[in-house]
Amino acid sequence: MKKIFKLPLRQSQNCPLNLLELDKNNPRLQTGIDVEIKSNDDLIETLANIASLDELVSSICTNGYLNLEPLIVIGKNDIGPFTVLEGNRRLAAILCIQNPALGDQIGVKIPNSISKRVLDSINEILCYRVENEEEARSFIGFKHINGPQRWDAYAKAKYITDWYKRSNGTVAISEIAQQMGDTNDTLRAYIYAILLLEQVTEEKLWSIKDRMNPGRFAFSHFYTALSRKEYQNYLGLQGTWSDKPPLKPLPEEKLPELSEVLSFIYGSKSSDQPALVKSQNPDLKDLGLAIVDEKARLILKSKGTLEDARDQMKAPSMAFYDAILTASLRLKKAMDLLPKYDGSDIQTNSQIEELFEQADTIKTMVSKKKGYKGHVA
């Protein structure tokens, strides 16, 4: 009679591979990229795209699987199947090695010849079974938030916020930070950012899927913005940073403003709003200054550029200087190209005449200004 495999709670033991399942709720999958996962193969392909399985597959195929660090698993009973809470990348790599056709299909390179020693090393995998996700949380969180195998910021934030929400208000952010080995301020920014994203999405006022850039979600733009006083003031969040924030931290009447800010940062396909933040420095700072300036904000709401908003906020003399400087630099570029121009294009020659007229008008009007100093040659 065949012996039934059993994996007792809180014990490490080699587990048959066919009893292990990937976790479809794996935080590593939280990247903001819209991916439809219908099958186990979809999960493996997504992990391959996110977590670069090629290097791990190559290492296992060369050296065999080093069965040292157990996968952390959970199951309804001790006979399985077991869902892998920690170690999904390792399991996905092993499944690709066992099924080279799948590896080829999803773009993971599998060697044509794999030794029996390597295949034997992946028949059974060392696993440690926990009773519930809470029991595994601090270990997994430390490893992937501040440990050697870090998730990206959005995956970290989703994981930590889920931890906070599951506590039903019994665990403070400072307590989570202590277990994670992270700072309160960082985790507070993560949690507030995720709670606000969930709140605005629930009200169908904005969603990550609606952003202009379809790639990896630039989550750091948003949580960094929330640390700036301009965004806090505009959203009515100043003075509300709490160690135990409500699950809906934003007043309902401020949700349209939150939707507007997210649309400015990331863009919105549904409203044809371009993303205004290309890089955090200086775009994020300048956008914050613009949203609290009524005239600059109106420019942005009218699909104006961040540069247009910057000009609105500048002193008139500085905006004029910048425009003249930009024109001068472009004319210098034209001077460099002049030797290659044969003078035969009517449209170009007409534009040159117009430039002379505009320059003469500016020269005349500036010299008549009341505050005029110096000589316009």
**In this predicted structure, what is the pLDDT of residue 146?**
57
Distance in angstroms (rounded) separating the CA atoms of residues 57 and 367 = 73
Distance in angstroms (rounded) separating the CA atoms of residues 28 and 151 = 6
Element counts in the chain: helices (H) and strands (E): 17, 5
Least confident residue range of 47-61, 114-128, 146-160, 199-213: 146-160
Asked if pLDDT for residue 255 goes beyond 90, the answer is: yes
**In this predicted structure, what is the pLDDT of residue 41?**
83
Distance in angstroms (rounded) separating the CA atoms of residues 274 and 347 = 32
Paired tokens of 297: 């904000």
pLDDT confidence of 275, banded at 50, 70, 90? very high
pLDDT confidence of 318, banded at 50, 70, 90? low
pLDDT confidence of 94, banded at 50, 70, 90? very high
- What number is the average pLDDT over the span 122-148? 75
Amino acid letter, 17: L
Asked if pLDDT for residue 199 goes beyond 70, the answer is: yes
Distance in angstroms (rounded) separating the CA atoms of residues 85 and 22 = 8
**In this predicted structure, what is the pLDDT of residue 142?**
60
Distance in angstroms (rounded) separating the CA atoms of residues 12 and 357 = 84
Distance in angstroms (rounded) separating the CA atoms of residues 324 and 359 = 10
- What number is the average pLDDT over the span 298-317? 81
Residues pairing with 129 in the sheet: 9, 73
**For the ranges 155-164, 180-189, 282-291, the one whose mean pLDDT is highest:** 282-291
- What number is the average pLDDT over the span 24-43? 70
Distance in angstroms (rounded) separating the CA atoms of residues 116 and 39 = 29
- What number is the average pLDDT over the span 337-357? 85
pLDDT confidence of 254, banded at 50, 70, 90? very high
Give the CA dihedral 273, 279, 281, 285, nearest 10 degrees.
20
Q: Which helix (H) or strand (E) holds 12?
A: strand 12-16
Residues pairing with 16 in the sheet: 124
Angle at 87 between CA 81 and CA 93, to 5 degrees: 95
- What number is the average pLDDT over the span 110-119? 90
**In this predicted structure, what is the pLDDT of residue 267?**
92
pLDDT confidence of 365, banded at 50, 70, 90? confident
Average pLDDT, the chain: 83
Q: What percent of the chain has pLDDT over 70?
A: 87
pLDDT confidence of 370, banded at 50, 70, 90? low
pLDDT confidence of 374, banded at 50, 70, 90? low
**In this predicted structure, what is the pLDDT of residue 66?**
86
CA distances from 251 to 111, 135, 236 (A): 56, 34, 8
Helix (H/G/I), strand (E/B), else coil: 14? strand
